[in-house]
Structure 1
Amino acid sequence: MGVNSMKEALLSDIIQKTREEVQAFEYRCSTMKHYERYWKDLSNHFARHEAKMYSDQLVDQYVSDMKNQLDTGFISNSKYKNVRRAVYLLKDYVNGGSLHWRRMQKPCQRITRPEWIQILACYARHLQKNLKSVGTIRTYRRIAEQFIEYLELKGSPEVSEITPKDVSSFFPHISIRYPKGLHVVLPTIRSFLTFLEVEKLAAPRLSWAVPQYCHRTIPPVSIVTNEEVKKLLQTINRNTPVGKRDYAVLLLAARTGLRRTDISKIRLCDINWRNNSIEVIQEKTETPVALPLLTDVGNAVADYILNARPKSESPYVFLRHCAPYLQMSSAVCYEVTRKAMDRAHIHQNEGERKGPHCLRHAVASQLLEKETPLSVISTILGHKNKNSTKVYLSTDVKKLRFCALGLTGIEVAREELK
Structure 2
Amino acid sequence: MRNPAFVQVTGPLAPFAEGFRVRLEVLGYARQPQVVHLDLMARLSRWLDERGLDGSALSTEAVEEFVLDRQVAGHRSARSIRSLRPLVEYLREIGAAPLAVRQPVAGPVEVLLADYAVHLARERGLAAVTIQRSTDLVRPFLAARVCAAGLDLKTLSAADVIAFMLARSGSASPATVQRTGTALRALLRFLHLQGLIDNSLVGAVPTAANWKLAALPKYLTREQVATLLHSCDRGTAVGRRDLAILTLLARLGLRAGEVAALRLEDIDWQRGEITVRGKGNRHERLPLPTDVGEAVVAYLSGSRPAAATGREVFVGTRAPHRALTRGAVTQLVARASHRCGLGTIYAHRLRHTAATAMLHAGASLEEIGQVLRHRHALTTAGYAKVDHEGLRALARPWPGEAA
**Smaller-chain TM-score bracket:** 0.7 to 0.9
The 3-state SS of whatever aligns with 2:209 is coil
The 3-state SS of whatever aligns with 1:279 is strand
1:260 and 1:356 in contact (8 A); partners too? yes
**Amino acid in the other structure paired with 1:230:** A
**Amino acid in the other structure paired with 1:33:** V
Tell me the CA shift for residue 40 of structure 1. 4.9
Tell me the CA shift for residue 356 of structure 1. 2.2
Q: What's the TM-score, normalizing by structure 2?
A: 0.76
What is the root-mean-square deviation of aligned Cα atoms in Å? 4.1
1:261 and 1:330 in contact (8 A); partners too? yes
| Aligned partner (choices 15, 36, 39) of residue 33 of structure 1 | 36
1:364 counterpart = 2:361? no
| Aligned partner (choices 106, 110, 131) of residue 112 of structure 1 | 106
| Aligned partner (choices 273, 280, 285) of residue 276 of structure 2 | 280
- Residue 249 (structure 2) aligns with: 253
Q: Distance in 2 between matches of 1:42 and 1:151?
A: 45
Tell me the CA shift for residue 150 of structure 1. 5.1
Structure 1 residues 42 and 118: CA distance shift in structure 2, 3 A: farther
Tell me the CA shift for residue 123 of structure 1. 2.3
Tell me the CA shift for residue 390 of structure 1. 0.8
Q: Distance in 1 between matches of 2:37 and 2:144?
A: 36
- Residue 5 (structure 2) aligns with: none
Q: Distance in 1 between matches of 2:334 and 2:110?
A: 37
1:163 counterpart = 2:166? no
Tell me the CA shift for residue 262 of structure 1. 1.1
TM-superposition CA deviations, 1:199-258 (whole Å, max 9, x none): 112342233432134334744311011111111111111011111111111112111111
Of all paired residues, the percent bearing the same amino acid is 25
Q: Distance in 2 between matches of 1:118 and 1:278?
A: 42
- Residue 314 (structure 1) aligns with: 310
2:64 and 2:81 in contact (8 A); partners too? no
- Residue 24 (structure 1) aligns with: 23
- Residue 220 (structure 1) aligns with: 216
**Amino acid in the other structure paired with 1:333:** V
Q: Distance in 2 between matches of 1:171 and 1:19?
A: 58
**Amino acid in the other structure paired with 1:369:** H
Structure 1 residues 88 and 271: CA distance shift in structure 2, 3 A: closer
Superposition pairs of residues 289-328 of structure 1, within 5 angstroms: 289-311=284-306, 312-328=308-324
Which moved further from structure 2: 363-372 or 298-307? 363-372
1:265 and 1:316 in contact (8 A); partners too? yes
**Amino acid in the other structure paired with 1:85:** R
TM-superposition CA deviations, 1:344-380 (whole Å, max 9, x none): 212x2xxxx6122222111211222233222111111
Which moved further from structure 2: 170-179 or 308-317? 170-179
Q: Distance in 1 between matches of 2:192 and 2:42?
A: 48
**Amino acid in the other structure paired with 1:331:** G
Q: What stretches of structure 1 of length at least 5 have no aligned partner?
A: 1-11, 100-109, 412-416
Q: What stretches of structure 2 of length at least 5 have no aligned partner?
A: 1-10, 97-103
Structure 1 residues 211 and 63: CA distance shift in structure 2, 3 A: farther
Structure 1 residues 159 and 90: CA distance shift in structure 2, 3 A: farther
Tell me the CA shift for residue 132 of structure 1. 3.8
1:269 counterpart = 2:272? no
- Residue 135 (structure 2) aligns with: 144
The 3-state SS of whatever aligns with 2:175 is coil
Superposition pairs of residues 10-409 of structure 1, within 5 angstroms: 13=12, 24=23, 26=27, 27=29, 29-30=32-33, 33=36, 40=43, 83-86=80-83, 112-113=106-107, 115-134=108-127, 138-149=129-140, 151-152=142-143, 155-156=146-147, 157-158=150-151, 160-161=153-154, 163-164=156-157, 165-172=159-166, 174-175=168-169, 176-216=171-211, 218-282=214-278, 284-311=279-306, 312-346=308-342, 348=343, 354-409=345-400
2:261 and 2:277 in contact (8 A); partners too? no
The 3-state SS of whatever aligns with 2:281 is coil
- Residue 105 (structure 1) aligns with: none
Structure 1 residues 172 and 394: CA distance shift in structure 2, 3 A: same
- Residue 6 (structure 1) aligns with: none
Q: Distance in 2 between matches of 1:286 and 1:150?
A: 30
Structure 1 residues 149 and 60: CA distance shift in structure 2, 3 A: farther
Tell me the CA shift for residue 309 of structure 1. 1.1
2:21 and 2:34 in contact (8 A); partners too? no
2:258 and 2:276 in contact (8 A); partners too? yes
**Amino acid in the other structure paired with 2:225:** V
Structure 1 residues 24 and 297: CA distance shift in structure 2, 3 A: same
TM-superposition CA deviations, 1:32-91 (whole Å, max 9, x none): 7379669959987998xx896667667667778999x9xxxx999xx89x5132466788
The 3-state SS of whatever aligns with 2:275 is strand
2:316 and 2:322 in contact (8 A); partners too? yes
Tell me the CA shift for residue 304 of structure 1. 1.2
1:318 and 1:327 in contact (8 A); partners too? yes
TM-superposition CA deviations, 1:139-186 (whole Å, max 9, x none): 344332443355436745515346235433433554435553222111
Tell me the CA shift for residue 266 of structure 1. 1.6
Tell me the CA shift for residue 406 of structure 1. 3.9
Q: How many residues align?
A: 373
Q: Distance in 2 between matches of 1:193 and 1:35?
A: 53
1:310 and 1:321 in contact (8 A); partners too? yes
